[in-house]
Amino acid sequence: MPEIPVLHHDAVLKAVSPTKAIDRVREALLRFHAGEWAMPPKVYLESPPFGDFRAMPALGDGLALLKWVTSFPGNPQRGLPTVTGVICISDATTGEPLMLLDARSVTALRTGAVAAVAAQALARPEAKTVGIIGCGLHGAWAARCLAAVGYGPGVCYDPRTAAANALAGELDWDAGPRESALRSLIVCCVTPGSEIVVDAGDLRPGLHLNMLGADGPGKAEASVGAVASCALFCDEWEQASHGGELTGAVQAGLVSREQVTELGAVLAGDAPGRPGAEAVTLFDSTGLAIQDLAVAAAALEAWRAGRVEAQTVVL
Ligand SMILES: NC(=O)c1ccc[n+]([C@@H]2O[C@H](COP(=O)([O-])OP(=O)(O)OC[C@H]3O[C@@H](n4cnc5c(N)ncnc54)[C@H](O)[C@@H]3O)[C@@H](O)[C@H]2O)c1
């Protein structure tokens, strides 16, 4: 019976720094764009009225990954995290399981990391200021990853003022109202996606929007009109058009495939990025299993190199 390492939440965060996660997520987007990494569509398993489970597979660099993860929006009221679950990485040659990892920390790191990758690729080159709308778990990691690669100062907005103040205090940024956050050149929306936080009137020339919260059917953070008036980018078209920020505008017939560029194509130099200094760019992040594979593979390497300790289980 194989004995395999298990990395808990803090061990994952010790194994993979934000800058490492950013580099690895960028690389994963490039490898997927080049057709070298595979990612079947994620499967949603609704658990009404509580939330949903997602099964997310990916294959690349000799590894296969499955993430079994939740989005249960009512959980914080019960003192439980919205996102929780487990990741298994296996050897793609033999099929043997190689490691189990906490999914919450991997998800937080890779989601924060893609916000930084998108900002580096799509925001104005001189843009530094950051607005965070929604300062929960993933808003905080988007802010930490952006700060790790030199962005800031920022304005943190959350109706839970304690969450906004805590994040602002951690990064030496400011807490403020939504309108102040929206005056930044890079704005990340990371709310539950149950109400609109960006309308067409909020868009200012030169803005870059990272829309991270709407990662499943029925969620939106920007009005359809706002989405339709931006230069549009996404992590992956199928996910973004069916369960992302772009979905409403696609369903309304306002946005079609040829108007949206995948971030991997921009990173590879196969498609243009920001159309001009005055354009408003919008990146729709729905969350990809290849991002999880990127971070989980880095964690496996860290354990193999002795940089982090793991518990073990015999299956
Ligand atoms: N794109 C991705 O890859 C990805 C990955 C993980 C999670 N998500 C999604 O991101 C969203 C946030 O997840 P989380 O784990 O950070 O949740 P969370 O509950 O920790 O944080 C959400 C925060 O949004 C705040 N909020 C609620 N309404 C708001 C509003 N109108 N304006 C500003 N802030 C508001 C809440 O007070 C809370 O602090 C969820 O919808 C989740 O499914 C996306």
Could you report the per-residue pLDDT of 124-151, keeping only the tens digit for each? 999 999 999 999 999 999 999 999 999 9
pLDDT at residue number 216:
82
For the CA of 288, the closest atom of ligand 1 is 3
pLDDT at residue number 193:
93
pLDDT at residue number 125:
97
215, pLDDT greater than 90 = no
For the CA of 291, the closest atom of ligand 1 is 3
Concatenating the DSSP letter of every residue in 228-269 gives HTSEEEES-HHHHHHHSTTHHHHHTTS--GGGEEEHHHHHTT
pLDDT at residue number 130:
98
Ligand 1 mean position, distance from CA 115 (Å): 14
Better-predicted residue by pLDDT, 81 or 208 = 208
1, pLDDT greater than 80 = no
**Spatial CB neighbours of 36, under 8 Å, sequence gap ≥ 6:** 60
Ligand 1 mean position, distance from CA 83 (Å): 10
Percent of residues in the chain assigned helix, strand, coil, to nearest 5: 35, 25, 40
3, pLDDT greater than 80 = yes
* Nearest to 231, CA basis, from 112, 113, 110, 118: 118
| CA 42 from centroid of its chain's CA atoms | 15
**Residue 65: its H or E element:** strand 63-71
| CA 235 from centroid of its chain's CA atoms | 9
Please tell me the residue having the least CA distance from ligand 1 atom 37: 160
Query: How high does pLDDT run on average in the chain?
Result: 96
Do 182 and 202 touch, CB atoms closer than 8 A?
yes
pLDDT at residue number 219:
92
The pick from 215, 242, 295 for probing ligand 1's pocket by mutation, whose C-beta has the most ligand atoms within 8 angstroms, reads 215
Better-predicted residue by pLDDT, 216 or 18 = 18
pLDDT at residue number 114:
98
Q: Is 160 in the pocket of ligand 1 (CB under 6 A)?
A: yes
Cα torsion angle, 271, 239, 136, 107, sign: negative
From the candidates 14, 20, 42, 67, which is the catalytic residue?
67
pLDDT at residue number 76:
87
Residue 81: pLDDT band (50, 70, 90) is confident
76 exposed, middle or buried (CB, 10 Å; 0-12, 13-18, 19+)?
middle
Q: Is the pTM value of this prediction over 0.85?
A: yes
Ligand 1 mean position, distance from CA 313 (Å): 33
82, pLDDT greater than 90 = no
DSSP 63: E
pLDDT at residue number 236:
97
pLDDT at residue number 217:
82
Give 163-170 contacts, CB < 8 A, sequence gap 24+: 163/135, 163/136, 164/135, 166/135, 167/132, 167/135, 167/139, 167/140, 167/143, 170/140, 170/144
Give yes or no: 42 in active site. Answer: no
Amino acid present at 62: G
For the CA of 212, the closest atom of ligand 1 is 1
